[in-house]
Copies of this chain bind each other. A is one copy, B any other.
Amino acid sequence: MYRSHSCGELRESDINKTVTLAGWVQKSRDKGFMVWVDLRDRYGVTQLIFDEERTSTEIIEKAKSLGREFVIQVTGEVIERVSKNDKIPTGGIEVLVSELTILNESKLPPFTIENDTDGGEDIRMKYRYLDIRRNPVKDSLVFRHKVTMEVRKYLSEKSFIEIETPYLIKSTPEGARDFVVPSRMNEGQFYALPQSPQTFKQLLMVGGMDKYFQIVKCFRDEDLRADRQPEFTQIDCEMTFVEQEDILNTFEGLTRHLLKEINGVEVDKFPRMLYDDAMRLYGNDKPDIRFGMQFGEMNEVAKHKDFNVFNQAELVVGIAVPGGNAYTRKQIDNLIKWVKRPQIGALGMVYCRVNEDGSFKSSVDKFYDQDDLTKWAEVTGAKPGDLICVLSGETNKVRAQLSALRMHLAEELGLRKPDEFAPLWVVDFPLLELDEETGHYHAMHHPFTSPKPGQLELLDSKPGEVKANAYDLVLNGNEIGGGSIRIHDKETQQIMLKHLGFSDEEAKAQFGFLMDAFEYGAPPHGGIAFGLDRLVAILAGQETIRDFIAFPKNNSGRDVMIDAPAPLDEEQLKELNIKLDM
């Protein structure tokens, strides 16, 4: 045993005890006749003291030789500190060292091991094992563990069983994003890594397991947009003999439990919003409802005059920015520039100031009079002192643009408070989504999602309007979970696959086992999957997930620390019966 206590443990009640500690040298101060060392481990920091009067010359000399991040073991007496530090729990004491062993030396780290480090992203990733020593990363990993333990405890208590599903599975039609694995024993054949355990959890329901969950890695080989990882973790869940309402209640319970246990926040029943309403009111299927600024659709109050930009637009839509009338002309110009950036893509922005006296001043006064603008204010809910921002164009695009503007403004106005939690169920998602490139419909959730009762018939005539038993859980403007009630009969599944463009042969080859299973007493079932990386980040009040992953990959899917992926040698390729084709 290298230590009697951790570095976060000693208090004034331990004074006079002889203790042994081990840890890393956080920093040292050498006053010549006296040396202080901050000794750090996962649990905290304890101040060590060496002085000429009470410490042997040999030891004080050794203490003076200690560099940052040296690993040492010390024995000494806990004494009261002269100048206490009430910022840390051990701040009332220090350890007067009588024995000092250097367990390992350290080269000077390439960046400082401090909360605010001088190291950039790249160097910290290369030396991730040093980055992890920093509190922001260390605490994030500990936090993640706490969340997963609470998830497991809660679900276990609700009779859910964690079941491991296989990682070496079969490539699926969305195979373009599958990672594949050549099999040595089955020449010329490949496994695929799961994008999710979807079909397996459904088979577990067919198998009568009733309530399943799994915290599980999933894999997707695709261009990594910001803050995505090729391997990511889901809390994957499925239940039998349930309707949508049962799923929502169960996982609302889980989320409420986490908010309470982890964040100490009590949340009432989660509000629910139709997908269509979310799109209409927030331009987005994952609205942040910590603040208002709902969209006002303005076609009726804006398309009756000679302003052609609006008249030609499919949708004219605005938001009221609280207190926005205080913006200078320059600030407003910057907003206009912001929405015109290629990432947002608006062609322009109309605005209207609502003066404190209730009068209006718009950028389109030439076309709209005070009566018109009064209606704009009504539609957008603008009050004296606000600014109305109006975008127009093709419905889907303009909604996305105004949604981005809304979030941007809320960020600037400090309305997205990290310690406030506003969960929301978005329900009744469309079953299908039009791929604008190919002109084909594909499953918005996945091919196993059931349409709402009675809507199967619409598949031929109005595929875009068919609603699904599908739902997302949104927290503070992020989708943290999504799921659906599944199809559980072979016929419906066949119809769905046909509509998604699978031939009978393809359907059989890819999902034959699932459809076979549906013929042997498949029960009604449904589920949900949470993105754990993001959930944890949001619960911690953060927006980026990287600090919550011990060894993340960069945007090229590389682990720069171990330098993977890497080439294989010829012999290894030969054994796998593959060769490069570049």
Q: Which residues of A are in contact with B by a Cβ distance under 8 Å?
A: 1-3, 22, 24, 40-43, 69-71, 73, 103-107, 109, 127-133, 138, 141-142, 144-145, 148-149, 152-153, 156, 161-171, 175-176, 178-193, 199-200, 203-204, 206-211, 217, 219, 221, 223-224, 230-231, 233, 241-243, 245-246, 488-489, 513, 517-524, 549-551, 553, 556-559, 561-568, 572-582
Contacts and interface: CB of A to CB of B under 8 A. Distances in A.
Contact of A168 (B246, B565, B575, B580): B565
Contacts of A243: 1-2
5 pairs of A and B residues whose beta carbons are closest in the complex: A132-B207, A106-B521, A2-B241, A170-B564, A189-B565
A572 B182 CA distance: 13
A518 B522 CA distance: 54
21 contacts: A1-B243, A1-B245, A2-B241, A105-B521, A128-B203, A132-B207, A138-B208, A141-B161, A144-B163, A148-B162, A149-B162, A163-B550, A164-B217, A168-B565, A180-B182, A181-B193, A183-B221, A184-B221, A189-B566, A191-B564, A192-B564
Contacts of A153: 149, 153
Contacts of A204: 129, 132, 550
A186 B519 contact: no
A69 B520 contact: yes
A109 B141 CA distance: 47
Nearest to A110: B520
Given A161-B141, A559-B170, A582-B577, A522 B565 contact: no
B580 A188 contact: yes
Contacts of A127: 517, 520
Contact of A563 (B175, B209, B513): B513
Nearest to A69: B521
A162 B162 CA distance: 16
Contact of A130 (B24, B193, B520, B582): B520
Contact of A562 (B69, B169, B581): B169
Given A103-B524, A107-B520, A573 B581 contact: yes
A233 B551 CA distance: 20
Contacts of A109: 520
A180 B568 contact: yes
Given A69-B521, A169-B562, A558-B186, A161 B181 contact: no
A200 B550 contact: yes
A180 B181 contact: yes
B230 A168 contact: yes
Given A179-B181, A581-B577, A166 B200 contact: no
A556 B168 CA distance: 13
Q: How many copies does the complex hold?
A: 2
B565 A219 contact: no
A186 to B, nearest CB: 5
Max chain B Cβ within 10 angstroms of own Cβ: one of A109, A181, A243: A181
B523 A167 contact: no
A189 B567 contact: yes
A145 to B, nearest CB: 4
Contacts of A166: 231, 550-551, 553, 559
A563 B170 contact: yes
A582 B576 CA distance: 9
Given A132-B204, A170-B565, A523-B103, A551 B161 contact: no
Nearest to A532: B164
A203 B125 CA distance: 13
A388 B573 CA distance: 53
Nearest to A524: B103
A2 B242 contact: yes
A152 B558 CA distance: 31
Contact of A578 (B132, B246, B579): B579
B565 A191 contact: yes
A188 B550 contact: no
B553 A203 contact: no
Contacts of A1: 241-243, 245-246
A550 B165 contact: yes
A182 B209 CA distance: 35
A550 B207 CA distance: 10
Max chain B Cβ within 10 angstroms of own Cβ: one of A193, A243, A573, A576: A576
Contacts of A175: 568, 572
Contacts of A231: 166-168
A22 B523 contact: yes
A132 B221 contact: no
A109 B576 CA distance: 38
B180 A551 contact: no
Contacts of A575: 176
A144 to B, nearest CB: 8
Contact of A3 (B70, B133, B241, B488): B241
Given A2-B524, A519-B106, A551 B69 contact: no
A523 B71 contact: yes
Nearest to A200: B551
Nearest to A577: B582
Given A106-B521, A574-B581, A579-B581, 17 more contacts: A1-B245, A2-B243, A41-B210, A42-B210, A43-B210, A103-B523, A107-B519, A128-B203, A144-B163, A145-B162, A153-B153, A167-B167, A175-B572, A180-B576, A181-B181, A183-B221, A513-B561
